[in-house]
Structure 1
Amino acid sequence: MKKNFVALAVTALMTVGFAGLAHAQSQTEEYIKKMVSANIGGGVKVDSVTKTPYGGLYEVRMGNEIVYTDEKAKYVFVGSVIDIKGTVNFTKQRTDELNRVNFSELPLDAAVKYVKGDGKRVIAIFEDPNCGYCKKFRKTLQTVDNITVYTFMYNILADDSIAKSRDIWCSSDRSKAWDDWMLNGKVAPAAAASCTAPHEKVLALGKKMRVSGTPTVIFTDGSRLPGMVDVKALEEKFASLKTSAPAVAAK
């Protein structure tokens, strides 16, 4: 009976102790969030504050940007946290985790579909019709076999991007019209007044996913590569994927 009583007492003390630590931790994180929000300026919104397992630092996340601070929020550290051997970039790991998306939940009906070969290797891309790097990347894709590409026309670069994308979307062959423009500069026929394009839907999707530039490539494992990707990097990424491409319905 005595042993049972001692065990219960120890358990109760540990529970109270852990609860106290959790409460104190929560208070520190709220304090940091308040201080950073008040002092960083520019209308920047602090999404979360989390204590890290390295150096007593706290991670401060603002959208897809991460900075670090101390428990009193006196200093802000900008940059990557890397282990002493230089083999692990903890900041990049965390950023990749935050940017990961559920590929199966992407609204592929709002994308232009292109298939080459057996189409087993699947990617989605956010591109703007006025993006020079996107045009270069389209040329790269012409050299890649057995691929399915879902292109979200993400109109963020110029005033006429919306009109160009709408004309392409309303073409009888969207995929051909997109490649004609991106590869050869051939303008698509003007869309009928009754035709609508998913501009608002894609724009909202890109903002939700924090897509800040074009091209941005999304892989079936939910990871992304911003900027133009060369054939070598693309093939290496495909080779590293451990899961098979999700089943996607034809659009």
Structure 2
Amino acid sequence: MPSMINWMPLVWLALAQPALAGRTEDTLLAQLRQAHPATRFDRVAATPVPGLYEVWMGENVAYVGGGNVRYLLFGHLFDTRQMRDLTALSQAGVAKASASAAEGNIPGPVDLSGLPAGDAIAVVRGNGSRKLVVFTDPACGFCRQLDTTLRQLNDVTVLHFLVPFQGTQLPEAIWCDQDRGTAYAQVMAGSASPVNDAKACANPLERNLALAARLGVQATPTLFFADGSRAAGALSRDDVEARLAQASTSKTPGKSIARSGHEAAKHR
């Protein structure tokens, strides 16, 4: 009898584990939606790593662990024993399912030359030969983290489309500043909060929101490369460099960015 009693909790735990897992995922999803109301979280799914969960935002995926929804990890989960990219497999499955559910509705490659450069803040470093578009929100912590990385790149032109997912006050203040390029850089570096003393100016924020919706941008930051491909999250410098190199050899649309001299600010 004692041995049977000792085993009973383990038997109950084994039977209850799927239900407990489901409740954990539902709880995390609710916590994420409460903590980050400006981001659309679709679902949370368990991974093979105990305590680590996939967080899905449209076709974009991040990871959360330890039940702390303050921190999201963007990157790829790799199984070194089976040599498989688990994140890529999950994304492929989501894309396939989406295609089956709504054929033709998955955003394809984006032609960067067709984007309205005058509605963006342009930063040109070096010869500006490599092209990159970023949908960003100045109030987004991940966007600030990514901006620090982007300012380490050489020979790149970056168009920053401000999208007010977390409110219009900060992006409006940046856009209406006399030197919006400097204002944007200072805010993203955390060294200043611009105060626009003049009346509110005409701005492209509504157009940028419409453009983001048309391109399927559901979270910030979202990056588009010269081959029309996209990535979401605060990528590392190595990841951005790899994507830029890949885009430069691709023959798909999006080889150039239409530039507006009024918006461009050169930083060497």
Q: Per the shorter chain, which TM-score range? A: 0.5 to 0.7
For 1:60-71, list aligned pairs within 5 A.
none
2:138 to 129, 153, 168: 129
Match of 1:196, SS state, is coil
Distance in 1, matches of 2:157 and 2:200, equals: 29
1:120 to partner: Cα distance: 0.7
Size of the alignment, in residue pairs? 168
Aligned to 2:258: 248
SS in 2 for 1:99: coil
Equivalent position to 1:169, from 167, 170, 175: 175
Please state if 1:210 is matched with 2:216.
Answer: yes
Instruction: Report how far residue 189 of structure 1 moved.
Output: 3.0
Residue correspondence of structure 1 range 57-96 to structure 2 within 5 A: 89=89, 90-91=92-93
Contact 2:118 2:259 in 1 (8 A): no
CA distance in 1 between partners of 2:250 and 2:163 (Å): 27
CA deviation vs aligned residue, 1:60-94 (integer Å, no higher than 9, x gap): xxxx66xxxxxxxxxxxxxxxxxxx9688554676
User: Against the structure 1 CA distance between its residues 227 and 172, is the aligned structure 2 distance closer, same or farther, given a 3 Å change threshold?
Assistant: same
Q: CA offsets per residue over residues 119-174 of structure 1, 9 Å max, x none?
A: 111111011111001111111112111111100111112xxx31211111111221
C-alpha distance in structure 2 between counterparts of 1:191 and 1:207, whole Å: 31
Residue type of the alignment partner of 1:228? A
Separation in 2, partners of 1:189, 1:86: 49
Cα distance in 1, alignment partners of residues 257 and 170 from structure 2: 30
CA distance in 2, matches of 1:220, 1:180: 27
Structure-2-length-normalised TM-score: 0.56
Structure 1 residues 88-107: Cα deviation after superposition (integer angstroms, max 9, x where no partner): 85546767993332222211
Q: Take 1:221 and 1:192, find their aligned partners in 2: how far apart are those partners?
A: 40
How large is the Cα RMSD of the aligned pairs?
2.8
How do 1:131-150 residues align onto structure 2 when only pairs under 5 Å count? 131-150=140-159
Is 2:119 the partner of 1:113?
A: no
Contact 1:170 1:191 in 2 (8 A): no
Q: Deviations over 1:1-37 (max 9, x none)?
A: xxxxxxxxxxxxxxxxxxxxxxxxxxxxxxxxxxxxx
| Cross-structure match for 1:197 | 203
Runs of 4+ in 1 over 6 A off after TM superposition: 85-88
Unaligned runs of 5+ in 2: 1-57, 60-82, 264-268
CA contact (8 A) 2:111 2:228 kept: yes
Cα distance in 2 between the residues matched to 1:134 and 1:249: 22
Residue aligned with 2:168, SS: helix
Asked which structure has the greater RCO (Cα within 8 Å, sep 6+), the reply is: 2
1:221 is aligned, of 214, 220, 227, to: 227
Matched-pair contact (CA < 8 Å) for 1:112–1:150: yes
Q: Point out the structure with max Rg over C-alpha.
A: 1
Identity %: 28
Q: Which runs of 5+ in 1 are unaligned?
A: 1-63, 66-84
Query: Displacement, 1:243?
Result: 4.5
Return the TM-score normalized by structure 1: 0.60
| Equivalent residue in structure 1 for 2:107, among 96, 99, 103 | 99
Q: How far 1:247 moved relative to its partner?
A: 5.0
